[in-house]
């Protein structure tokens, strides 16, 4: 049964092989970077506030974190998009 399922999965994945092989467009990486950074920044804002007790300082930390990590994530995604391993 498991072997049959694996064979069926391979056959169905071959028909979609061209679609799976395509890289993501940079705009998708940008959208993913922004959405992930919003979540991450809210977390940083909360943790910074809990540690410092100061809203202004927490917002400053979260703002810098948002910008720097968004760029890091974008380039990280683009590099991984060029790697064929696991596709």
The pTM of the full predicted model, rounded to 2 decimals, is 0.59
In contact, 82 and 22? CB cutoff 8 Å: no
Of the pLDDT bands very low, low, confident and very high (cuts 50, 70, 90), residue 85 is confident
Residues 6+ apart with CB under 8 A from 37: 66, 69, 70, 73
> Which domain range does residue 58 map to?
25-87
In contact, 46 and 62? CB cutoff 8 Å: no
Of the pLDDT bands very low, low, confident and very high (cuts 50, 70, 90), residue 46 is very high
Specify the DSSP class assigned to residue 24. Answer: P
Task: Record the tokens describing residue 10, joined without a space.
Answer: 């391979």
Specify the DSSP class assigned to residue 22. Answer: S
Number of domains in the chain: 1
Distance of CA 57 to the CA centre of its chain: 27
Instruction: Let me know if residue 14 belongs to a domain.
Output: no
Residue 11, pLDDT above cutoff 60:
no
Instruction: State pLDDT tens for residues 22-35.
Output: 677 888 888 888 89
């Amino acid at each position: 049964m498991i072997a049959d399922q694996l064979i069926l999965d391979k056959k169905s994945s071959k028909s979609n092989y061209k679609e799976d092989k395509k890289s993501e467009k940079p705009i998708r990486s940008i959208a993913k970077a922004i959405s992930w950074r919003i979540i991450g920044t809210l977390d940083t804002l909360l943790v910074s506030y809990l540690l410092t007790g100061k809203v202004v300082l927490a917002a400053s930390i979260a703002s810098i974190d948002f910008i720097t990590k968004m760029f890091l994530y974008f380039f990280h995604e683009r590099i991984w998009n060029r790697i064929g391993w696991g596709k």
